[in-house]
Amino acid sequence: VLWSANDPEGSNERISMWKTWVTEEWTWFYIASQNIWIALLIYLLCSKYRNIRLGKDDEKPEYSYLSWFAMLFSCGVATGLFYYSVAEPMWHYRGWGGARWMDNMNDNDKAIHAIMVTWFHWGVHGWIPYTVVGALMGIMSYRRDMPLTMRFCLYPLIGEQVYGWMGDVI
């Protein structure tokens, strides 16, 4: 923050360079990780774990599947679609600051690329991180009676350390 306040142009140039490097070198890793999460969730849906409830075993669901989906969709996606359904494809079509490779694309290729990236963001790959984190938080909170915070998602891995500095970092 101090760097940006003292040297806005220099910090903007350097941060843009880092963003471009990360995007060009690590996008494959991001896409691969999303595909791994999808494969893991498909496995869990086809295994003995598919019937785990977010609540206790003796509790009945408070909402129907349709109501639950409507709440998740309207809170998580509908607002974003309302605001970004046109803006995001246009942003990708125009090309963001570091998209040097778009100079070699014609208008049709840019439009196809813009729609494909938008579909990637708003399709299954866009839902996966929220699904994984939401399921973990729900299980840890409603089945194991732990606080509804991110740190307790990692309780099965790091145990009581979630109460210390590791939990604070998370």
Residue 25 domain-assigned (yes or no): yes
Q: Could you tell me if residue 11 is inside a domain?
A: yes
Q: What is the pLDDT of residues 61-93, one digit of tens each?
A: 889 989 988 888 888 777 788 888 889 999 888
3 state SS of 95: coil
Instruction: Answer whether residue 16 is part of any domain.
Output: yes
Range of the domain at 10: 1-51
The number of distinct structural domains making up the chain is 1
Question: Is residue 10 domain-resident?
Answer: yes
- Contact between 20 and 97 under an 8 Å Cβ cutoff? The reply is yes
Q: Is residue 67 part of a domain?
A: no
Q: Is residue 95 part of a domain?
A: no
Q: For residue 114, is it within any domain?
A: no
pLDDT of residue 98 exceeding 60, the answer is no
pTM comes to 0.72
Q: Mean of the per-residue pLDDT values for the chain?
A: 88
Distance CA 26, CA 30 (A): 7
Residue 132 lies in a domain: no
Exposure on the CB side of residue 154, measured as CA atoms within 13 A: 13
